Structure 1
């Protein structure tokens, strides 16, 4: 009987170690707003421009922290969790981002306040660190930074990846990184867009045969609740209901897919009659709409623009707002008002903003480009299948 108890205890411990929660807190923009600072809108698609303007056309689960920004506009909810780097291992909170491919963390090489206010990696304190001194530049929609590439042991969701290349930040000039609750970003897109040709974490897992299936999946919790999850090598059937609907990746850069149609209250707009493209991006808090359609969409919703350029609605009317839907590979994925309306409070007053913003990326093959960020991904469990180059969506529980 003792051996059975020991086995069960070890199994429970192993399960616990393989599940790291994704927390949700106030967002960067929320904290700045409470201090009376209104940041101008920054197109989340800016981080995609280096690609679009270039000449290139075992299993484990990590519980993710749900960092909610219900007061920010645009809302800056982000989902991040713990990884470890080095020997002995040091823990870092990283944003898990399907819209980029590099892993980087704050480091002792960086002396800006954005770095020193976070946990910093010190290469002198790891016996397994090495580097060739290569430097890289990493642009994101909310800021950019410079880093030097190094190699060390990385553990994600209980999966050990030896000699993983990652960036050690050397300069972070943006105020937004100062307010960030995470210490770095772990990119999960394709290697073709990785700065410095650094091999992404997922690709090293695949090359080393560390996964029982070459896929990962996200469950993003709603309403500032905890329980978000990133799974490697498996899907968690307890996080969705019904079936998973699959759609092919249309470009092996970001997780880019096709959109067949867009409806407002079950009425087809015709905006994607010739096809649209979308990037599925856990690192973008909002749903972004091609700029040429935004005015029409906001009129359909009944939103009005305020002095800061934000689209607002009457909070007493949110239940009466239309459902919007995207058609992907013949399946309609609906977003009710509760999905795209964010509520925040300022000076004792309640405000309701539409969490849909414009993007100005050029069309892909003459097809308008959307970004399916957290507004969409909180409603739908998402699976990213590298073996078959496809994305799956199922209704989240």
Structure 2
């Protein structure tokens, strides 16, 4: 009898078994079951009932263990090839549009192949298990559908079967998710979602019926659970986290990430819903307000290479904390300076060198005379104005051009190169260097532009001589050492070191923008305070 009880308990979810077990106990009352066995069943039911009413842990927190995928060179390259502009740049331009009346809602989605941390959830009754990325940079939950017939990616991952869930509710509205080099399409459904010991009832999610990218074939996870704001949710679907709060499942309107950066550790990290675990951090958190709902966005202050200010974010830069990427993404102008400082391999930009050669002296003189930096390139005739903005407001990078109406790709490249040169020269002017030294430095930067393939290879033997990189958040310095911002893959003589920084140019008004991924979150424990609309950072334990 006890074996039957134990089997039943394992076959379905915690709360569902309670009713079944007690029915079994009642049914045996009039049978030949002896008194001892009846007491055993009754005691077992009482234990289940009592346990179901207890919190997930003694501190009231709900903990999700995270697994870590070890980075390999192939994955790192593939992740960087499928760039993130689709999520934060061009593809994000429609994110504020009203999608409620659309037959197929569209949201921008980056490539998640580079994400290293993932955990498990259950959908349906009994729960069907899926491995997902817990992503603060998106807001929808999606998993592969059993109706995904023609995508190779679906063959290699768990699929949701609506017919096997007693709590499934049909929705059927179609949706399409765009990302860097393809798209995912499917339809909305509704079911219970199990996250740790919590059951979120009637959660709207996406059943993906087509996954059109090799990224998802290679991925170690089945789907994505977004922890961003509803403002960027496809179809305005209520995010899982919102329903956790609305249904009273968490003690506090807070969740927090602890990512274990130890490559030898089996434990990848922990996502905590309902508060923070003091064992995950040292000292006190520095809190900054969320400046714009959608992503977890805040204002970042000055950015330093070594102990020297770049001047780029002195007036404030927008930054996003994104658990869905392992990297640090920033404007090409600054990533180029980082590449130069750490000796990363880059590409030579002929346009950039031409600008320095032909217009370097003129740019210097205009800046010294007090001309506003954003007007310089127009004054010397290499950028043309369209209304109040220069044409380069829509250019992603110097090395990745698009033909735009009325303006050639070559003109775009020259304009972008000029604007980067202006920023570099302006920053060097603050250091009170000579013109000759400044122009020589800028010419060197023209040889350190990030590769469009994102392969910034570093000499592993020079890590000790590389400078610290410092972000200023809430007037406090958050520093990364070379050991923390350089990614290592392989072993022994096959070890390859890659820069944790990639270039991402987001045009105004959302940009310029920094994306702080797992490289940063692994060093600094991060608190997402939904109730007070703020973010907290402290040294990770």
TM-score range, shorter chain: 0.7 to 0.9
Partner of 2:506: 361
- Secondary structure, counterpart of 1:298 in structure 2: helix
TM-score, normalisation: structure 1: 0.86
Q: Are 1:388 and 2:532 counterparts?
A: yes
Partner of 1:322: 467
Cα distance in 2, alignment partners of residues 39 and 375 from structure 1: 15
Q: Which of 254, 260, 265 is the aligned partner of 2:301?
A: 260
- Cα deviation for residue 78 of structure 1 reads 1.8
- Secondary structure, counterpart of 2:525 in structure 1: strand
Cα distance in 2, alignment partners of residues 85 and 260 from structure 1: 41
Partner of 2:66: 22
Q: Are 1:372 and 2:516 counterparts?
A: yes
- Cα deviation for residue 221 of structure 1 reads 0.9
Cα distance in 2, alignment partners of residues 75 and 332 from structure 1: 30
- Cα deviation for residue 267 of structure 1 reads 1.1
- Cα deviation for residue 297 of structure 1 reads 1.8
> For residues 102-181 of structure 1, what are the structure 2 equivalents within 5 Å?
102-111=140-149, 112-141=151-180, 144-181=183-220
Q: Which of 284, 289, 292 is the aligned partner of 1:248?
A: 289
Cα distance in 1, alignment partners of residues 210 and 313 from structure 2: 41
Q: Is the 8 A contact 1:161 1:201 kept in 2?
A: yes
Partner of 2:484: 339
Alpha-carbon displacement from aligned partner over 1:63-95 (angstroms, at most 9, x marks no partner): xxxxxxxxxxx9924211111110111111110
Cα 1:174–1:51 change in 2 (3 A) is closer
- Cα deviation for residue 142 of structure 1 reads 7.0
Q: Is the 8 A contact 2:344 2:499 kept in 1?
A: yes
Larger CA Rg, structure 1 vs 2: 2
- Structure having the larger proportion of residues in strand: 1
Cα distance in 2, alignment partners of residues 291 and 238 from structure 1: 37
Partner of 1:234: 275
- Cα deviation for residue 236 of structure 1 reads 0.7
Alpha-carbon displacement from aligned partner over 1:197-253 (angstroms, at most 9, x marks no partner): 110001111212221111110001103332400011110110000001100011001
Q: Is the 8 A contact 2:63 2:273 kept in 1?
A: no
Cα distance in 2, alignment partners of residues 317 and 188 from structure 1: 38
Cα 1:212–1:32 change in 2 (3 A) is closer
- Secondary structure, counterpart of 2:170 in structure 1: strand
TM-score, normalisation: structure 2: 0.64
Cα distance in 2, alignment partners of residues 284 and 295 from structure 1: 20
- Cα deviation for residue 50 of structure 1 reads 7.0
- Cα deviation for residue 273 of structure 1 reads 1.7
